[in-house]
Chain A
Amino acid sequence: MHPGRQLAVLGLLFVILYALVFFGAGAKGSVTDRLQPKLGLDLVGGTQATYVASLASNGQPPPQTSMEEARKIIDQRVNALGVAEAEVVVEGNRNIVVSVAGEADDQLKNVGQAAQMRFRKVLKATGDNAAVAANPPTANPSASAVPSGSAAPKPSSSTGAKATAKPSASTGGQGGGEKAPSPSATPSAPAPAPSASAAAPAPVTADIKEQRAAIEKKVGAAAWAAAEKLKDPVDLQTDPTAGIPFKAFGTLTGPEVNALTPEMQFNVPTIGCAEQLDKRPNGAIDAIDQKVVACQSGAKMYLDAAKVIGKDIDTATPQLDQQQGQWVVSLDFTSEGQAKWTALTREAFQPAADDSCVAAAQALSTGATHCLVAVVLDKTVISAPEIQGVLTGQSQITGQFNAVTAKELADQIKYGALPVTFEPAATQSVSATLGKQQLEAGLLAAAIGMGLVAIYAFFYYRLLGTVIFLSLILSGLLTFGALVVLGRTTGFTLTLAGIAGFIVSLGVAADSFVIYFERLKDEIHEGRSARSAVPRAWVRARRTIISANTITIMAAVVLYIVSIGAVKGFAFALGLSTILDLVVVFLFRHPIMTMFANTRAFMSPRVSGLGRAMKRVSTDVKEA
């Protein structure tokens, strides 16, 4: 390639890169803002979010092993957000503290989510009528819900359930911190229960009994009894005032509602989604073998036991569904999970005759002919698709996703569920640990180091030192531009370690010059003219430079793929600087040297430092 053309390519690269810096890749703000690479936690501080682990059912903090496992998963989730270097530590025995650089946009909102994934068939559905039920148009304030004084605690639970000795220790409430037991291979069909509500008996601990007694006291015995009798949601269509007796239930808090049986939660019309069901404690509906109630966009759903859970999923990837033009999360199941998933979809696609799920499906989505399976993440139904067939392969979750949320969900599923449930506590800004002083010192060190390299180059190679010097400046500018763009697009943050890495890489970049110039010296030794020596030396040096850089790039790629956390960021920086070094070598140094070789001054010993080699060449040189 002609030297001029190579320089033109380099110029074009520069223009494109800096156009991106100033006008593309989400640039905004003033000129200095646009020139700001994203700096790391240690340099500019950032945001610190604390997550407090819920106590286990025995009132003890979760065991250290679970906390460490949770720390790992949260660490993976945070790092999946980008190449940012986040710090995740366990503090004391209940807190996990996550620190990330810069402003915490909503990045940290979901990393503390337990991400318990459950697939549950939708058995029944009803509207969220809490507001209407409590205040019907013809509201009669003096409702019959007069608190009766009888506060005698009755044995509650209409199902007559006893604490069963199921392997599942999960209480389905109280934010039980145990790990969800791995499901047995046989789907646990609900045991035939004496009552018509056919609920799988939930283990009722003394604690829950106590709570229920308290609630009964709060809402009044009459309302409680009426609620216990409900077999179906109260029909407000035919009788708008039917909800009045249950008005007191509208005052219950999330945790209180959680103590009720799922049937009550579902049937009592005054129990709403936003204020109550969604405010149940974390982990409220994680229990695998129980029916639960959950909400999705203004609908209450009564859901079956979870036949498929997060652990059955092998991997999850965000995808843009071309046909629909919307983001989906596609799921690959494990072999065991696939069998369960197929069974669940068959059950939903060909429901038994007496199954209420078809009616529920029609209530939720008009024209549905098959049952829905709700995809439940922690406490919310993220999507309740109608099952269109017996699914035997990869499946997708659809929902109101965009690129970001789809990736977030996929990451949550991929990295698994937390063994402990967390409540997010305060999010605070934190200062830099090193601060300006260290950053300035680092930059000063860089300047001094580069100055030394330049002095050495000038001393050793005379005028050729300028080529080294200019190349280093170019490398620096390219690297800086790339950092700014990458910081904005991929969230690559520059830490002090990264800065040091770049400083080192500039030194190594200067090294490829040494290879080249030493070759050039040798060629001139042999008595070549500069014009023939430059291309020859280039051809020979190129091979060495490419081999040596290939190794570095190999190291960077392997480390990037395999490692996690800070090492990943480092590998990224290493690969980036090496590739940019190669760009500068090929598109700048080579053409410049070619041009240089055509000047007279190039061969003068004073100018290029190559002359010393020339002196030794005898007069009987034979030109090639």
Chain B
Amino acid sequence: MASKGFADRLYRGEANLNIVGRRKMWFAIAGALVLIAIGSFVFRQFHLGIEFAGGTQFVIPASVGTQEEAQSAVARAVESAGATEEANIGAAQRVGNGPDATYTVRTAALSQDQASAIKSALVADLKVPAEDISDDRVSAAWGTQVTQQALLGLGIFLVLVLGYLIVRFEWRMAVAAVASLLLDLVLTAGVYSLVGFEVTPSTVIGFLTILGFSLYDVVVVFDKVQENTRGITAGASQTYSEATNLAVNQTLMRSINTGLVALLPVGGLLFIGAGLLGAGSLKDLGLVLFVGMGLGVVSSILFASPMLAALKDREPRIKSHTARVLARRSSARSGDVARGERTRTPNATPSDEVPALAGSTPRPGVRPAAKRSNTRGGGAGNRPSGGQKRR
């Protein structure tokens, strides 16, 4: 099992990827993506569904056949009338019972001419008298109020969460976490705007689901960071950034696992929803969740932690500590570099493992064997081992 190289090291949280160290690159990528997203909001806007934008409703007598037939008839009519813009056709609905029952089918807003053309196409297609088919404007079912209130809720939530994270961690972590959440939301919305996916109530609801999920990931990583950096300034073997990077690496497997475990059901939703049924709320939900959660996992690894390290490195205490560590390193023999030191935590117990030093590049193909080597210790312990370190 242990010979799997990277996968195995990943499994044990020893992948040693230098994530935090490349933070400039991540920020540049994030910045570019945000700009693209905002540009897309301005120039492409969003493709709003019937529930938001209102539309046109066709009423067809139920004598024409089944619900599906009514719907496909409207679809054909829309096509034949050459409704240029893609008129999203909603699901048909049967209204009433008995001989007077009708089907209503909603489409995106159409001009009067288009509506008339579709109506005559329907009359010809279904062979019903023209007076039995009516078309009518329908308003948005989702008033602007719903969206406004949802956004207000979002704002209040962000403030509260910021407060909570400040109490639970510290303000820098809170800022980094919320920044990463905002990045997720902006990029998810950007994907929607850019690709032109339809925005329906289901989309908005899915979008709000991302809130909790995205922060969930970040909190787990930061929890680890907090643990690894407790009392870091007391030692002089690791900079804050390196400790953060170690935490990211240690939780990498967990993040990937989380992402997979959460995305599996969503993927099921998306592929079943889109594959079996075509349009519908399943697809809408699956899509927004898939995009948002995927981004959430990535941003918690590549954005939140580097952001935190960037914020922390401005803190005077950490700054001087970093300088001290680097000075010590440059004077030390290179063999020492390979041995990170982690600080003692209150309930640390002696153990003989030597933690990996973040930032030291592992030799490719190195076998993390049971033999304790000097080049790499087993740094998978989430617990800083304060014990007998062999110096």
Contact = CB atoms under 8 A, between A and B. Distances in A.
A576 B383 CA distance: 34
Nearest to B280: A438
A449 B352 contact: no
A278 interface: no
Interface string A498-534: 0011011011101100110011011101110000000
B153 A428 contact: no
A504 B352 contact: no
Interface stretch (A109-117, A229-237, A354-362, A613-621): A613-621
B285 A500 contact: yes
Contacts of B90: 433
B91 A433 contact: yes
Given A504-B262, A574-B212, A449 B11 contact: no
Interface in B75-108: 90-97
B353 A554 contact: no
Interface in B249-265: 250-251, 253-254, 257-258, 260-265
A58 interface: no
Given A91-B57, A430-B93, A548-B216, A501 B209 contact: yes
Name the residue in A97, A543, A559 with the highest tally of chain B Cβ atoms < 10 Å from its Cβ: A559
Contacts of A515: 220, 254
A89 interface: yes
Contacts of B372: 618
Contacts of A67: 139
A71 interface: yes
Interface stretch (A157-165, A340-348, A386-394, A440-448): A440-448
Given A441-B276, A522-B383, A613-B12, A574 B209 contact: yes
A548 to B, nearest CB: 4
B334 to A, nearest CB: 25
A616 B370 contact: yes
Contact of A526 (B95, B97, B220, B381): B381
Interface stretch (A18-26, A175-183, A243-251, A561-569): A561-569
Contacts of B31: none
Contacts, number: 288
A544 B219 contact: yes
Interface string A196-212: 00000000000000000
A507 B93 contact: no
B281 A501 contact: no
Name the residue in A429, A435, A566 with the highest tally of chain B Cβ atoms < 10 Å from its Cβ: A566
Interface string A593-620: 0000000000000000000110111101
Interface string B125-161: 0000000000011111111011001101100110011
Contacts of A555: 157, 161, 208, 211-212
Contact of B138 (A90, A521, A565, A567): A90
A522 B381 contact: yes
B286 interface: yes
B359 interface: no
B268 A448 contact: yes
B149 A564 contact: yes
Given A441-B276, A514-B257, A567 B146 contact: yes
A87 B142 CA distance: 8
Given A88-B141, A429-B96, A504 B209 contact: yes
A558 interface: yes
Given A525-B380, A562-B156, A567-B208, A615 B140 contact: no
Given A72-B145, A504-B289, A555-B157, A525 B205 contact: no
A624 interface: yes
B140 A89 contact: yes
Contact of B262 (A97, A437, A496, A511): A511
A563 to B, nearest CB: 4
A434 B281 contact: yes
B350 A622 contact: yes
A566 B149 CA distance: 11
A574 B208 CA distance: 10
A574 B361 CA distance: 43
A537 B35 CA distance: 42
Contact of B136 (A92, A429, A441, A511): A92
B88 to A, nearest CB: 13
A446 B157 CA distance: 29
A42 interface: yes
B153 A526 contact: no
Given A522-B381, A567-B208, A446 B268 contact: yes
A67 B143 CA distance: 12
Given A511-B262, A555-B157, A567 B280 contact: no
A286 interface: no
Interface string B222-249: 0100000000000000000000000000
Given A68-B139, A551-B219, A615-B2, A507 B261 contact: yes
Interface string A545-556: 001101110111
A97 B350 CA distance: 71
Interface residues of A, number: 96
A418 to B, nearest CB: 15
Contacts of A450: 265
Contacts of A618: 352, 370, 372
Contact of B212 (A75, A540, A551, A565): A551
A504 to B, nearest CB: 6
Nearest to B92: A433
B172 to A, nearest CB: 16
A31 B353 CA distance: 59
Contacts of B152: 562-563
B193 interface: no
Given A522-B381, A562-B153, A618-B352, A547 B142 contact: no
Given A444-B272, A503-B269, A497 B352 contact: no
Nearest to B169: A547
Given A87-B141, A501-B209, A563-B153, A446 B350 contact: no
A574 B280 CA distance: 21
Contact of B268 (A430, A445, A522, A527): A445
Given A525-B380, A543-B223, A621 B352 contact: yes
B67 to A, nearest CB: 7
B282 interface: yes
B166 interface: no
A566 B368 CA distance: 53
B142 A453 contact: no
A500 B141 contact: no
A65 to B, nearest CB: 12
Contacts of B264: 449, 452-453, 456, 507
A307 to B, nearest CB: 32
A72 B140 CA distance: 11
Interface in B185-218: 201-202, 204-206, 208-209, 211-213, 215-216
A547 B368 CA distance: 34
B160 A566 contact: no
Nearest to B255: A514
22 contacts: A426-B96, A434-B281, A438-B281, A441-B272, A444-B272, A445-B271, A445-B286, A448-B265, A500-B206, A518-B253, A518-B257, A525-B353, A525-B378, A527-B351, A544-B219, A548-B216, A555-B161, A563-B153, A567-B150, A612-B2, A613-B12, A616-B2
Given A429-B96, A497-B205, A507-B262, 13 more contacts: A428-B95, A445-B269, A448-B265, A522-B13, A543-B223, A547-B168, A555-B161, A567-B146, A567-B205, A570-B209, A571-B208, A616-B378, A622-B352
Q: Which 3 pairs across A and B sit closest by C-beta, in order of nearness?
A: A449-B265, A449-B268, A431-B94
Interface of A: 42, 45, 48, 67-68, 71-72, 75, 87-93, 97, 426, 428-435, 437-438, 441-442, 444-446, 448-450, 452-453, 456-457, 460, 495-497, 500-501, 503-504, 506-508, 510-511, 514-515, 518-519, 521-523, 525-527, 540, 543-544, 547-548, 550-552, 554-556, 558-559, 561-567, 570-571, 574, 578, 612-613, 615-618, 620-622, 624
